[in-house]
Amino acid sequence: MRRAAMAAGDGLGPALRAVTERVQQAAARRPQGLPAVQPRLVAVSKTKPAEMVLEAYRHGQRSFGENYVQELLEKASDSRILSSCPDIKWHFIGHLQKGNVNKLIAVPNLFMLETVDSVKLADRVNSSWQKKGSSQKLKVMVQVNTSGEDSKHGLPPGDTTAAVEHVINKCPSLEFVGLMTIGSIGHDLSKGPNPDFQVLLSLRQEVCDKLNLPLDKVELSMGMSTDFQHAIEVGSTNVRIGSTIFGERDYSNKAPAGSGGQTEAVTVQGH
């Protein structure tokens, strides 16, 4: 714990500033035809202590992402974070099992669920958020398995528009804000743009055309530590970056009971 806290104090500020600068540079390289939306940087703090979240917040970071429900609940409920980080915005970016929905909805300052991967899950989340009695809708993204890999969660591309329509028309407590993908890890850019990102771009166009939605109102969450600049250049509005900011992770003690930890560690390895 002490080593992590020291690392946060010594290197987190410069690392965060460097990533923020790279995000801005990549945004400046986008073609004019893409929506002029400043990309959101989600700092993925999974397996990292609350001290590092506090340090990043002190350096101006506000959006944070977690993959495990229990870890998110514990971190977001930490008295130091509650008292010192009033404007923090938590994103859940891991696979959400239906049995953990109520626990997720109880997370303080939950801002967005990026991984709605079925209409049944959307219905469960909608019902739970409705019971919470919040005056605000919960922002959600529909997750798409663009690579077709068995290790990845998400809807098949062909089911995306119907799922988005369901969220908009059948889930009054949810606000659909975009599409999310993990994509294949380690794509060789010398062979051309990442095909997973191209699929998500095409799906956004399809969703907007069929459901009459403004293109600039549908976000794209794609891009992690290894490929976020390319993702932004082709249209990402939300990048999920962990190890480049916080350093490498230690998974030896991170497989929370009931969270599907082992599977999630595989599916989100590139953050």
User: What pLDDT digit, counting tens, does each position of 9-32 carry?
Assistant: 457 999 999 999 999 999 999 998
Task: Answer yes or no: is 253 within a domain.
Answer: no
List the one residue out of 121, 99, 235, 245 whose CA is nearest residue 178: 235
Residues in contact with 171: Cβ distance below 8 Å, sequence separation at least 6, in sequence order: 122, 123, 125, 126
Q: Residue 161: which CATH number?
A: 3.20.20.10
Task: Answer yes or no: is 255 within a domain.
Answer: no
User: What pLDDT digit, counting tens, does each position of 221-237 carry?
Assistant: 999 998 999 999 999 99
Rounded Cα distance between 179 and 160, Å, is 9
> What confidence score (pLDDT) does residue 56 get?
97
Residue 36: pLDDT above 70? yes
> What confidence score (pLDDT) does residue 265 get?
34
DSSP track, the chain: -HHHHHHHHHHHHHHHHHHHHHHHHHHHTS-TTS---PPEEEEE-TTS-HHHHHHHHHTT--EEEES-HHHHHHHHT-HHHHHH-TT-EEEE-S---GGGHHHHHTSTTEEEEEEE-SHHHHHHHHHHHHHHT-SSPEEEEEEB-SS--TTS-SB-GGGHHHHHHHHHHH-TTEEEEEEE----TT--GGG-S-HHHHHHHHHHHHHHHHHT--GGGSEEE---TTTHHHHHHTT-SEEEE-HHHH-----TT---TTTTHHHHHHHTTT-
> For residues 93 and 268, is the Cβ–Cβ distance under 8 A?
yes
Q: Which residue(s) pair with 113 in the sheet?
A: 92, 140
Structurally, how many domains does the chain consist of? 1
Task: Answer yes or no: is 195 within a domain.
Answer: yes
Rounded Cα distance between 38 and 27, Å, is 7
Distances (CA, A) of 216 to 26, 37, 160: 18, 7, 18
> What confidence score (pLDDT) does residue 196 get?
95
> What confidence score (pLDDT) does residue 264 get?
36
Residue 251: pLDDT above 80? no
User: What pLDDT digit, counting tens, does each position of 166-182 carry?
Assistant: 999 999 999 999 999 99
Residue 253: pLDDT above 70? no
pLDDT tier at 58, thresholds 50, 70, 90 = very high
Task: Answer yes or no: is 254 within a domain.
Answer: no
pLDDT tier at 188, thresholds 50, 70, 90 = confident
pLDDT tier at 249, thresholds 50, 70, 90 = confident
User: What pLDDT digit, counting tens, does each position of 124-169 carry?
Assistant: 999 999 999 999 999 999 999 998 888 889 999 999 999 999 999 9
Task: Answer yes or no: is 174 within a domain.
Answer: yes
- Specify the pTM: 0.89
C-alpha dihedral sign at 203, 205, 206, 208:
positive
List the one residue out of 69, 64, 42 whose CA is nearest residue 53: 64
Domain of 24?
Answer: 2-28+38-248+260-267
> What confidence score (pLDDT) does residue 252 get?
63
Task: Answer yes or no: is 146 within a domain.
Answer: yes
Task: Answer yes or no: is 33 within a domain.
Answer: no
Phi, then psi, of 174 in degrees rounded to 5: -110, 145
Secondary structure of 21-35 as H, E, C letters:
HHHHHHHHCCCCCCC
Q: Average pLDDT, whole number, for the chain?
A: 89
Tokens of 150: 């068995």
Phi, then psi, of 159 in degrees rounded to 5: -100, 0
Task: Answer yes or no: is 14 within a domain.
Answer: yes
> For residues 226 and 185, is the Cβ–Cβ distance under 8 A?
yes
